[in-house]
Amino acid sequence: MTDKIKKMQDTVNGIMSKYPASAFKGRKGHVIVVDHSEAPQEMVADTRTVPGIITERGCTYAGCKGVVVGPLKDTVAITHGPIGCGYYSWLTRRNRGRTEKPEDHNFLAYCFSTDMQETDIVFGGEKKLQKAISEVVEIFHPKSIMICATCPVGLIGDDINAVAAWAEKEYGVQTIAFSCEGYKGVSQSAGHHIANNGLFKHVIGTGNALKGEYSLNILGEYNIGGDGWEIERILKTIGYTIMSVMSGDGTVEQLKSAHKADLNLVQCHRSINYVAEMLREKYGTDWIKVNFLGIENTIQALRDIAKYFGEQSLIDRTEAVIAAELAEIEPEMEKYREMCKGKTACLFVGGSRANHFQGLYSEIGIETVLAGFEFAHRDDYEGREVIPFIKANADNKNIENLVITPDPKHYRLLLSKDKYKELSQEMSLNYFKGLIKIMNDGNIVVDDINHYEMEQFMKILNPDIFASGIKEKYVIHKMGKLSKQLHSYDYSGPFAGFKGAVIFARDIAMGLTTPAWSLIKPKWKQDTHLEGSYVYVEEVI
Amino acid sequence: MADKTVYRSATENPFHICMPLGGIMPFKGIEGCMILVHGAQGCSTYMRRLLTEHYSESLEIGSTCLNEKGTIYGGEKNLKQGLENIRKVYNPKVIGVLTTCLSETIGDDVERFAEEYLADNDCGDLKIVTVPTPGYGGTQAEGFYVTARRILAKLTQPAPKHEKINLIVSHITPADIREIKRILDLMEVAYTLFPDYEETLDGMYRDEYYKIVPGGTALAEIEKMSGAAATIEMGLTVDPEHSPGQLLLDQYEVPLHRVPIPVGIENCDQFFRVVAKVTGKKIPEQIDKERRRLLDAMIDSHKYNAEGRSAIYGEPEMVYATTKLCLENGIQPVVVACGRGGNKLTALLAAEMEDCLEDVLVLSESDLADIRGISAMKNANVAIGHSKGHYLTEKAGLPLVRMGLPIIDRVGGQRLLSVGYDGTIQFLDRITNTLLENKQRTYRTQMYEKYYKGQRKNITLVKNSAN
């Protein structure tokens, strides 16, 4: 163990020692100091949140309605419950969607709720839900409807599946019910799973769209700040066909034919790996773990995809596009790199982004000293090799595990056994290595960080940037540090691909150099200088 | 005036939010308070997200993180553990517990759990205030008053009579609270303002970082509100059962004066009249000057305002004040709406609208889809309400004056000033300028369509008839 690792370990122990005994027990395994000599290091993740600790996590409903189902633009998602849940998950700016033709449906600007009242809780809300569906069908003529359940629905026993069946029969409109009550599971991750199961069972495989050349599904891409559009732009320039996107700017219509794609790309491993695996089991389609955040990562992804198909013309086209894109962005990137280099960042986001953004940061000379996820599972930290060892518990057993068998008509394997073996050595084929492996010794990994731990790490690590979400944004600003929202991008973006990398670099450079920082001097910052060196004296002079 | 409730089962683009959200502000308005939401963890996370976006401040709200086990066996263990962790890590003076749909449906006896927790642990002076706020029990407007009332019920003690007055504010902005304080200081009135979230929800950059932001009504002050000379409460639309002022009247015989939010010249006049009467203080010259400036502004802007046709939506108390402001200035309200719980508002506005030249639709249960439909039908040219109304602008071209909560697509929602004579001028200017901006953008086209094109048509007609 090096001095750096040991020192960091002592610091972490100090922070944890402040907890009451039961909370200490609950939090202990969630924070590790990276030490590759000890690999594989084990994380505790996807466990229940400690009550009263100010967690950044959301609920199962949020994962299902807010993350996966919500961004599908051509479907009407009805929240069955009291008004708050629907209101809070109303998508407005985060996910973007566009329609090709004026007659195409785009319901992203809408929020539908049954606004349950006390009487509905007492007497049941099924009738109200039925009426709501009737009204929605009459006014909007959607091609599909998604019913998302909230806490009281499960408690009072409303049978939303029966209502969905009724609606299909009555109106001939596909209606899918999601039992995603907020109290199920330990975080929004359970909601992703429930949503994905529902879409896999009822939507994927029901369509018959023509398959284009080199056809791909982009899974786990939610088009935050237009990321999906930049990714599509690059892929289409090279010559790929996008069969479907799950689910940013996505449609139920496209999703129906997702089973026909040649290859699946997995961007957010956490929220979508189940779908990728089920597609492989049922249709034989392989998946590659890609990361379109960061220039190097994007290039790697593009080369992997081309290599999977293996045709020289495609590989050549890929290289030509990479060269052209790089030539366009490099001069500007260099400018921002000069402004950012040597800084440090903490990343606490979702279930994949704390991993995805590290490349982007390092490309502008910023080291990630702490990274962690809100709702990731052990495989997101340790890699997929740990999956067989993850213990089943009351919470994860709670979520339906679909039993999949190969589809007799559509099952096909694109690669020979030898080719598969060869490619597995060269790329993340049906595999994801997780977060810990990309971090440096002495860096910190935290699962399900809370307000207290965040404050402590801010003081000790003194990073230049803390990247997270809106809930943490202003506490970071109050500490005199730059915050960067990586859930909604502070209304900026895209950050993906080549052009996105420049926007990201510009945002960070602008954030680090905004004149306000030079006008403030938080006390604990001054203290560091006093203890440390001559820097303080210089400033005074 | 017509009262209509367009009853539908699907709420399409709602503009009211749930009850526990409204409970956050009163708790943020008392000194040294931490909030714990008893329910699934999504509730606190969602509320934090919305309020953080609106106030541009961090909101530390804990959750008891109820899961499936808790829903079956009850949430007692989670609540007690939550209280313990909040107390140990944050060391607050008060913990406010808000319930949710989940904990109310399973029937947790939250008050008993809290009492047991205090009895079983050495908590010093820690107070716990529990508030039943199921999401289906009301909107954020009710959550605000119910919580404020529970805080007083729990923290106010019998106290000797004193000369201070209690000023209980409605859900106004931190900037509004600051203005009310300035006014009362100017009048040299001794007062306890409650709930005072002026600094906690519109913070400043401080040299030191505080886990619990300083500010809020002092607990020592709240304790003594029972001995005040009188209570002035902003809340004409409030159910007496929810009213904090009513509690002080019933329990401690503190005389209660209900006033509207002082927005608009008449509401301001009423506010100052009541404060002056209750305290015996004179209205200072400075305030008189501010009133005269408002009058001047009203006269100068009337030509533009007279073209205004407004759609007003939001929480009942602010909707009432805003409607009065429109009426005073010749802006014709065409639809005035609450998401839910607007029954009292309907009766209150009936009296105000007797002289209106045209019918005003007052909706006590509605959503933005209703507003959009009625606005189009009745040619509204300005909407006044919170950010979710941007949908009216995007889909129907109706310009929006942002007001209320949440304001999440512009900065500074917490700094909007609308109360007092000065604040009224600012609010009125925002409305007038929106009307002007809209006119500037569209009037050349409209003139062309209406007169020039129309004239050409007439010429053609004349020609035709000559032939």
pTM attached to this predicted model: 0.93
8-state DSSP, A67: I
Give the C-alpha separation, A86 to B100, whole Å: 15
Residue of B nearest to A151 (CA): B102
Q: Are B199 and B210 a contacting pair, CB within 8 Å?
A: no
Cis previous bond, B195, omega within 30:
yes
- Is B17 close to A92, i.e. CB distance below 8 A? no
3-state secondary structure chain B: CEECCCCCCCEECCCCCEHHHHHHHHHHCECCEEEEEECCHHHHHHHHHHHHHHHCCCCCEEECCCCHHHHHHCCHHHHHHHHHHHHHHHCCCEEEEEECHHHHHCCCCHHHHHHHHHHHCCCCCCEEEEECCCHHHCEHHHHHHHHHHHHHHHHCCCCCCCCCEEEECCCCCHHHHHHHHHHHHHCCCCEEEECCCCCCCCCCCCCCCCCCCCCCECHHHHHHHHHCCEEEEECCCCCHHHCHHHHHHHHHCCCEEEECCCCCHHHHHHHHHHHHHHHCCCCCHHHHHHHHHHHHHHHHHHHHHCCCEEEEEECHHHHHHHHHHHHHCCCEEEEEEECCCCHHHHHHHHHHCCCCCCCCEEECCCCHHHHHHHHHHCCCCEEEECHHHHHHHHHHCCCEEECCCCCCCCCCHHHCCCCHHHHHHHHHHHHHHHHHHHHHHHHHHHHHHHHHHHHHHHHHHHHHHHC
The domain defined by A60-184 folds into Rossmann fold (3.40.50)
B222-251 pLDDT tens trace: 999 999 999 999 999 999 999 999 999 999
A30-62 pLDDT tens trace: 999 999 999 999 999 999 999 998 888 999 999
Options A94, A192, A353, A487, the catalytic residue: A192
In B339-378, the residues whose Cβ lies within 8 Å of chain A are: 339-340
In A376-435, the residues whose Cβ lies within 8 Å of chain B are: 394-395, 398
Alpha-carbon separation of residue B123 from B84, B219, B235 (angstroms): 9, 17, 35
pLDDT of residue A229: 96
Give the C-alpha separation, B306 to B273, whole Å: 29
- Is A54 close to B340, i.e. CB distance below 8 A? no
Alpha-carbon separation of residue B27 from B63, B178, B240, B465 (angstroms): 15, 18, 20, 76
B3-33 pLDDT tens trace: 445 557 899 999 999 999 999 999 999 999 9
For residue B351, the one-letter residue type is A
Instruction: Identify the band that residue A380 occupies on the pLDDT scale cut at 50, 70 and 90.
Output: very high
Which tokens hold the place of B126? 């820690």
Q: Which of A88, A94, A116 to mutate to test the interface with B (most CBs of B within 10 A)?
A: A88
For the beta sheet containing B127-131, the strands, ordered from the edge strand earlier in sequence to the opposite edge, are B61-63, B33-38, B94-99, B127-131
Burial of A386 (0-12, 13-18, 19+ CB in 10 A): middle
B417-441 pLDDT tens trace: 999 999 999 999 999 999 999 998 8
Cβ contacts (< 8 Å) between B139 and chain A: which residues?
A: 83
pLDDT of residue A520: 82
Give the C-alpha separation, A239 to A215, whole Å: 9
Alpha helices for A48-101 (secondary structure H):
60-61, 83-88
Closest CA to A364 of A505, A523, A461, A235: A505
Nearest to B101 among A151, A188, A394 (CB): A151
Is A46 within 8 Å of chain B by CB?
A: no
Q: Are A412 and A284 a contacting pair, CB within 8 Å?
A: yes
pLDDT of residue A467: 96
8-state DSSP, A192: H
8-state DSSP, A216: E
The domain limits of chain A are 60-184
Q: Which of B7, B8, B11 to mutate to test the interface with A (most CBs of A within 10 A)?
A: B11
B53-78 pLDDT tens trace: 999 999 999 999 999 888 889 999 99
Give the C-alpha separation, A417 to B5, whole Å: 67
Q: What is the mean pLDDT of residues A149-161?
A: 96
Cβ contacts (< 8 Å) between A134 and chain B: which residues?
A: 9
* Phi and psi angles of residue B384, each rounded to the nearest 5 degrees, phi first: -125, 115
Mean pLDDT of chain A: 93
Is B336 within 8 Å of chain A by CB?
A: no
pLDDT of residue B4: 46
Closest CA to A176 of A59, A66, A78, A274: A78
Pairing mode, if any, of strands A215-221 and A344-348? unpaired
Give the C-alpha separation, B78 to A52, whole Å: 8
- Per the annotation, the verdict on A192 as an active-site residue is yes
What whole-number percentage of chain A has pLDDT above 90? Answer: 86
B85-107 pLDDT tens trace: 999 999 999 999 999 999 999 99
Cross-strand bridge partners of residue B337: B313, B363
Q: What is the mean pLDDT of residues B266-292?
A: 98
Cβ contacts (< 8 Å) between B137 and chain A: which residues?
A: 118
pLDDT of residue A524: 55
B296-324 pLDDT tens trace: 999 999 999 999 999 999 999 999 999 99
Q: What angle do CA A354, A360, A366 make, to 5 degrees?
A: 90
Q: What is the mean pLDDT of residues A179-202?
A: 95
Whether the pLDDT of residue A538 is over 90: the answer is: no
Nearest to B391 among A62, A109, A184 (CB): A109
Distance from CA of B297 to the nearest CA of A (A): 36
Give the C-alpha separation, A275 to A199, whole Å: 9
Alpha-carbon separation of residue B269 from A319, B80, B292, B423 (angstroms): 74, 48, 12, 13
Options A45, A62, A148, A180, the catalytic residue: A62
For the beta sheet containing B230-234, the strands, ordered from the edge strand earlier in sequence to the opposite edge, are B191-194, B165-168, B230-234, B256-259
Task: Report residue B168 CA to chain centroid gap.
Answer: 13
Q: Which of A134, A183, A470, A472 to mutate to test the interface with B (most CBs of B within 10 A)?
A: A183
Mean pLDDT of chain B: 93
In A79-98, the residues whose Cβ lies within 8 Å of chain B are: 81-90, 92-93
Cross-strand bridge partners of residue B258: B233
Give the C-alpha separation, A408 to B107, whole Å: 51
Task: Specify the 3-state DSSP secondary structure of A176.
Answer: strand
Q: What is the mean pLDDT of residues B367-383?
A: 96
pLDDT of residue B465: 38
pLDDT of residue A540: 33
- Per the annotation, the verdict on A303 as an active-site residue is no
pLDDT of residue B354: 85
Give the C-alpha separation, B31 to B199, whole Å: 11
Cross-strand bridge partners of residue B346: none
Cβ contacts (< 8 Å) between B84 and chain A: which residues?
A: 20, 22, 52
- Is A184 close to B84, i.e. CB distance below 8 A? no
Q: Are A128 and A158 a contacting pair, CB within 8 Å?
A: no
Give the C-alpha separation, A69 to A85, whole Å: 14
Task: Report residue B26 CA to chain centroid gap.
Answer: 11
Pairing mode, if any, of strands A444-447 and A31-33? antiparallel
Cis previous bond, A51, omega within 30:
no
- Per the annotation, the verdict on A93 as an active-site residue is yes
Helix axes B174-186, B285-305, angle to 10 degrees: 140
Structural element, H or E, at residue A366: none
For residue A149, the one-letter residue type is A
- Per the annotation, the verdict on A59 as an active-site residue is yes
Closest CA to A80 of A129, A121, A120, A133: A129
- Is B136 close to A120, i.e. CB distance below 8 A? yes
